[in-house]
Structure 1
């Protein structure tokens, strides 16, 4: 069974197209990404993690209900987590694939990403 990861909402989406930025992943990738988020966020961002994983039993992970501040804090934390090259748990490879191929490509389309000082949390920008 597959899962769906909803990253955000694109207000500039043309009429007739889905404004939700999401990607379907297979069940192994979905579970790996869920476990990675728990590893990265459970200590400092438990309330945000609860919001993101609220639909996990329906095979949905969603960042849509996070406000701008929580969204950017979570994205920055996950970006740091996925940049670590040290020994990682076995699920890390699948989770990083989801990050690189599902999450990152949709970030720039979400206005919450740009709301923090005009550039959100784009890599390499300050």
Structure 2
């Protein structure tokens, strides 16, 4: 099971490995082959090709189509990392409302002030209240 979806796995060299194609076609179906491949490479996830006998087992289990000629397998931990990188909803950190920092502009006028991101709502925003 991966994210509540049953994924066929095989024991290969003492490690449980999951069918990457089945993961791509179920959990990651909203992403392109290139997106999945590039993310897998970026995460350093290696893909092990199954043997012809293992491929036949995957076909019979319904994880692979009969016409498939090969199948990549990844460990369950790697599958969890890959799926999490696509499916986890992470929001950017929020700053406290009162967060600010001092600024000094090195120009002829040498303006100083405080930058308060929560008050910034336009690229042209200037607050006279923040000027010292």
Same fold (TM over 0.5): no
Q: RCO greater where, 1 or 2, for CA within 8 Å and sep 6 or more?
A: 1
Q: Which has the larger radius of gyration?
A: 2
* TM norm structure 1: 0.26
Q: Larger % of strand: which?
A: 2
